[in-house]
Amino acid sequence: MEPGEECAPVRRGRARSHWQREPDNGGEPPEPVSDEKAEEIARTIILNRLDRSSASRAQLAELCAKKLVPDHIADRVLDRFEEVGLIDDAAYAAMLVSTRHNERQLAGKALRVELAKKGITGEAAQAALEQVDADDELEAARAIVAKRMKQASMQKAPRDVQKRRLFGALGRKGHSSSVAYRVIDEALGRD
């Protein structure tokens, strides 16, 4: 590009939703859309989100609200998607608990927080959390301690510092203090 030449303005940010577009009618507010059109827009928003990854009903409802879809329209579309099986909070919760536990070694408390962040509480959350038993949590805690003990900074640290760091690491992953003390004592030996 030569100096002094003008270029087209760069568009920044995300495209506006169907509800947020600037009116083309001289600044007048846009005309309201019919319920059928609103349902079509809500379906598109939800399907686009589900195309990227699974989501809970609460997450999808929040997305619709953010895109200014009327609540009664969003609820109707979400109900229909639940009927046909595109939205299944119980299956989503089970998948989330399984992956978070296996990949991040999260335990009960941390898993419950993760589910709540996704809008899953009550029976669906409880059923998903039941798939992780005490032995699984103990093995996850042992894996965390073993990984941390391989770090050079941990090997050089005094015993009390090692215990404090390991206890903090296990606490952040949602492990109870009894599990933490047990696993740390196994790894470092009782003092």
In this structure, of 15-24, 77-86, 145-154, the range with the lowest mean pLDDT score is 15-24
Closest of 81, 85, 83 to residue 63, by C-alpha: 81
pLDDT digits (tens, 9 = 90+) for 106-165: 998 899 999 999 999 999 999 999 998 889 999 999 999 999 999 988 888 999 999 999
How much is the pLDDT for 93? 96
Could you give the C-alpha distances from 82 to 30, 75, 79, 138, in angstroms and in order?
Answer: 32, 10, 5, 36
> pTM of the prediction?
0.73
Closest of 109, 133, 110, 171 to residue 184, by C-alpha: 171
DSSP 8-state symbol, 156 = H
CA gap 84, 95 in Å, rounded: 19
Percent of the chain topping pLDDT 70:
83
